[in-house]
C-alpha cells in the first residue's frame, strides 16, 4: 500500500507540478533585451530630446498590468509600437538595484499605472541620490523605451529629473 501511494504521489507531482512550474518560469523570466547594450544616446542628448505624449497610464497600463486580459501577442505588438520613444514619467519607487554598470530603479505597477525598470548610468552622484530613495518616493525618469520585461517597461538609457 505504501509503494502504491509513493507511485501515485510522484505521478501527481510530475503530471501537475512540472507543467505548473514551467508556466511560472515562463511568466517570470524576462525576455533577453540586451540590457547592457548601449543605444548611443548620451545623457546630454537625452536631456534635450523631445518627449512623446505617451503616458504610463491608460492603454499602456491596461495592456501590461498583471491582471490584464491582453494576450502575449497583443503585448508584443504594443511593445513594438512604443519601443524607441522618449518618455518622461513621474513614478513611485518600488526597488533600486545595480546591474551591468546601471542603477536600475524599479517603479511600482498598479492597475492604473505601468511599472518600469529605469536604467540610469551609475555615477557617484546618482548612487548618493538613490541611497536616499525609499519605497513610494516619486522619481521623474526620462529616457528611451528599450522594451519590456515581466510586464514592465524598460527605460534605457535614462536620466533622473
Q: What are phi and psi of 27, to 5 degrees?
A: -75, -40
Comparing 52 with 29, which gets the higher pLDDT? 52
Q: Averaged over 48-64, what is the pLDDT?
A: 95
Q: What is the pTM of this model?
A: 0.75
Confidence of residue 35 (pLDDT cuts 50, 70, 90): very low
| CA–CA distance, 139 with 97 (Å, rounded to integer) | 15
pLDDT at 36 over 90: no
- Of the candidates 154, 128, 123, 127, the residue with the CA atom closest to the CA atom of residue 141: 154
Say how many CA atoms lie within 13 Å of 17 toward its Cβ: 6
- Of the candidates 109, 111, 107, the residue with the CA atom closest to the CA atom of residue 143: 107
Comparing 1 with 147, which gets the higher pLDDT? 147
Q: Are 86 and 132 in contact (CB under 8 A)?
A: no
**Domain chopping of the chain, boundaries:** 1-30, 34-160
Choice among 41-50, 65-74, 107-116 with the minimum mean pLDDT: 41-50
User: CATH says 34-160 is which class?
Assistant: mainly beta
Q: How far is CA 134 from the centre of its chain?
A: 18
Amino acid at each position: 500500500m505504501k509503494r502504491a501511494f509513493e507511485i501515485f504521489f510522484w505521478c501527481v507531482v510530475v503530471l501537475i507540478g512540472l507543467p505548473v512550474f514551467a508556466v511560472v518560469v515562463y511568466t517570470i523570466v524576462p525576455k533577453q533585451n540586451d540590457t547592457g547594450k548601449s543605444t548611443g544616446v548620451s545623457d546630454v542628448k537625452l536631456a534635450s530630446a523631445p518627449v512623446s505624449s505617451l503616458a504610463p497610464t491608460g492603454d499602456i497600463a491596461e495592456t501590461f498590468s498583471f491582471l490584464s486580459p491582453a494576450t502575449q501577442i497583443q503585448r508584443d505588438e504594443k511593445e513594438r509600437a512604443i519601443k524607441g520613444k522618449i518618455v518622461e514619467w513621474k513614478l513611485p519607487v518600488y526597488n533600486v538595484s545595480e546591474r551591468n554598470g546601471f542603477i536600475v530603479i524599479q517603479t511600482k505597477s498598479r492597475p492604473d499605472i505601468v511599472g518600469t525598470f529605469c536604467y540610469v548610468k551609475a555615477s557617484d552622484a546618482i548612487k548618493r541620490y538613490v541611497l536616499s530613495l525609499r519605497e513610494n518616493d516619486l522619481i521623474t525618469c526620462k529616457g528611451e523605451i528599450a522594451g519590456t520585461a515581466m510586464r514592465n517597461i524598460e527605460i534605457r538609457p535614462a536620466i533622473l529629473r
